[in-house]
Amino acid sequence: MQVIAAVAEFERDLLIERTQSGITRAKVAGKRFGRPPALSVREAETVLERLAKGSNISELAREFKTSRQTIIRIRGKNCSLE
């Protein structure tokens, strides 16, 4: 029984190693991970312009059919870049 458990543990370690290797290779190749952005780059730029002009966050969220949090996140990314 111990031999079978040792082989299973070894196989598990190999699986984890292959998975990590694949993730690293994909990142190097430029693959994006996670959920796609709710707004395109152009839409995000428009949101930032409108925020600078004094538009309301809720109003922009309704117009772009997204959540308030998405608009706030876009605003926050812009602030961290400056």
Q: How many domains does the chain have?
A: 2
pLDDT at 79 over 80: no
pLDDT at 82 over 50: no
Mean pLDDT of the chain: 91
Distance CA 39, CA 72 (A): 12
- Domain holding 68, by residue range, is 36-82
Query: Rounded to two decimals, what is the model's pTM?
Result: 0.59
Whether residue 25 is found in the same domain as residue 40: no
Whether residue 30 is found in the same domain as residue 42: no
Distance CA 66, CA 63 (A): 8
- Going by C-beta distance under 8 Å and a sequence separation of 6 or more, which residues neighbour residue 34? none
Whether residue 81 is found in the same domain as residue 45: yes
Whether residue 29 is found in the same domain as residue 44: no
